[in-house]
Amino acid sequence: MKAILAKRVDSGTADLTEIEDLAVSAGYDVVGRLTQTRTEDAAYHFGEGKVDELAELVERTDADAVILDNEVGPYQTFNIGQKLPEGVEVVDRFTLILDIFGQRANTRKAQLQVELAQLRYELPRAEAKASLAKRDERPGFMGLGEYDESREQDIKRQISEIREELESIADKERSRRKQRRDSGFDLVALAGYTNAGKSTLLRQLAAELDVDENEDRHPDLATTAESEDRLFTTLGTTTRRAKMERRDVLLTDTVGFISDLPHWLVESFQSTLDSVYRADLVLLVVDAGEPTRTMREKLVTSHDTLYERNEAPIVTVFNKIDRITDEELAEKRSALSDIAPNPVAVSAKTGAGIDRLRERVERELPDWQRERLVLPLSESTMGVVSWIHDNAHVEEESYSDDYVTLEFEARPAVVSKARAKAAEIAPAESV
């Protein structure tokens, strides 16, 4: 489908870069662009003359749709549509985003979250239509179509049902996170804007290890992560195992942020964002190839989203340094030091800086507990020794005729479990 992009701003110059990326991601062929700088018009959002200009552009390009990079009210949408040739669709920014989300929703959780977002988007419009229609005796108030007074209640009922199902899924995921931590894994989440290179970074960090599919230890791990140059490739979550110097971590890539997301849309994807909020460490990935001003805007928005609920420390990763010079990188480090005081610079594409990132991840993760166990030699003991090697970092292991001594570091839950396993085989000395 061919589309015209249009955007109004109160001041300054309208930027159509992101909305064009979104339109292309949704499958549109962009054939025209139109912008306006002025205060919002109550009837048309744009000035009426600008809407006439938009209609002429649609006719010249034979466009099928007009995509508005603004939040436009239902009556403004109707009024703009009345000016356009018959059959031309008017799509606002959030309808476009929800359309893309719908195309990418391949899991039950993702589908539920998209449906929830669509319903939350529709609810105020249904409420407004029903309220205004009651004041007007004409069917289909202002030409917006027939209204059904029960629709508002239907939407609220569906929202309630979806939230209940999502909460059930969230309960299982909370249990899974606990199980993974109890098995000795630290949970690291990748966050950031779309196309910042999160999926490529995930592949780079985890590329040298196969994923253990033992569901008793860490179920639902994906062996691949897409890294295509398109928006919203990872609407759901992708988790892979990665080896640091001393620790095994589980890396999770989630849906990317985009600009100007309203609160209701962020809330609709709460279940997916929990993978970030409940991690042990968050890697906030930024495209270092973008202008410094753009990087700052995206960092500010990302921090606003993360700090509201996030429980973990955040490490900023300047990705795509292969696209800039060392001098440009130094300038960006300095200019953004107030919001990204100690970023790690990497190229997920070439592998540059990945070792430094691994070292930083290990430093920032929660401290482990040290333990020393002295166990009597037996067949059962060797099973415990093997388990400790799988779930902890063993610093020293020594054998005598009758005992094996292990000194190791691990998460507190793993240390507790190791003690319990040791106590089951025979009286043991713990120092």
| Predicted confidence (pLDDT) at residue 302 exceeds the cutoff of 80 | yes
pLDDT tens-place string over residues 160-195: 999 899 888 888 887 887 777 777 688 898 988 878
Establish whether 320 is an annotated binding residue. Answer: yes
| Predicted confidence (pLDDT) at residue 342 exceeds the cutoff of 80 | yes
For 125, the token pair is 């419009």
Average pLDDT, the chain: 81
pLDDT tens-place string over residues 317-336: 999 999 999 999 999 999 99
CA distance 362 to 245: 8
Distances in Å between the Cα of 95 and the Cα atoms of 111, 122, 132, 190, 273 are: 16, 10, 22, 26, 21
Q: What does the pLDDT read at residue 140?
A: 47
Residues in a beta bridge with 281: 188
Establish whether 307 is an annotated binding residue. Answer: no
Residues 56-78 have a mean pLDDT of 91
Residues 22-35 have a mean pLDDT of 92
Element at 283 (helix H, strand E): strand 281-287
Q: What does the pLDDT read at residue 84?
A: 95
Establish whether 50 is an annotated binding residue. Answer: no
Q: What does the pLDDT read at residue 278?
A: 80
Question: Which fold does the domain 369-430 belong to in CATH?
Answer: Alpha-Beta Plaits (3.30.70)
DSSP-assigned states of every residue in 190-227? EEEBTTSSHHHHHHHHHTTSPPP--TTTS-S--S----
pTM as predicted:
0.67
Cβ contacts of 337 within 8 Å, gap of 6 or more: none
pLDDT tens-place string over residues 208-261: 443 333 333 333 334 444 444 344 444 567 788 887 877 778 888 876 777 666
Residues in a beta bridge with 409: 370, 393
Establish whether 198 is an annotated binding residue. Answer: yes
Q: What does the pLDDT read at residue 105?
A: 75
Establish whether 73 is an annotated binding residue. Answer: no
Establish whether 81 is an annotated binding residue. Answer: no
Establish whether 214 is an annotated binding residue. Answer: no
Q: What does the pLDDT read at residue 51?
A: 96
DSSP-derived 3-state class of residue 350: coil
Q: What does the pLDDT read at residue 228?
A: 41
Domain pair 183-364 / 369-430, same fold: no
Query: pLDDT > 90: what percent of the chain?
Result: 33
Establish whether 195 is an annotated binding residue. Answer: yes
Mode of pairing for the β-strands spanning 393-399 and 403-410: antiparallel
For 22, the token pair is 């979104």
Residues 46-75 have a mean pLDDT of 93
Q: Under a CB-based contact definition with an 8 Å cutoff, are residues 418 and 384 in contact?
A: yes
CATH top-level class of 2-101: alpha beta
Assigned architecture for domain 183-364: 3-Layer(aba) Sandwich (3.40)
Establish whether 193 is an annotated binding residue. Answer: yes
CA distance 257 to 320: 18
Establish whether 234 is an annotated binding residue. Answer: yes
Of 254-263, 368-377, 384-393, least confident by mean pLDDT is 254-263
How large is the C-alpha radius of gyration of the chain? 27
Give the start-to-end residue ranges of the domains of the chain. 2-101, 107-170, 183-364, 369-430
Q: Which residue has the higher pLDDT, 179 or 308?
A: 179
Closest alpha carbon to 251 in 310, 207, 296 = 207
Establish whether 254 is an annotated binding residue. Answer: yes
Establish whether 212 is an annotated binding residue. Answer: no
Establish whether 367 is an annotated binding residue. Answer: no
For 135, the token pair is 């004041």
Which amino acid is present at 270?
Q
What percent helix, strand, coil does the chain show, rounded to 5? Answer: 45, 20, 35
- In this prediction, residue 370 has a pLDDT band, given cuts at 50, 70 and 90, of confident
CA distance 65 to 76: 16
pLDDT tens-place string over residues 111-147: 888 888 888 888 877 776 666 555 554 444 444 555 5
Which DSSP state fits 323? G
Q: What does the pLDDT read at residue 263?
A: 65
Q: What does the pLDDT read at residue 351?
A: 92
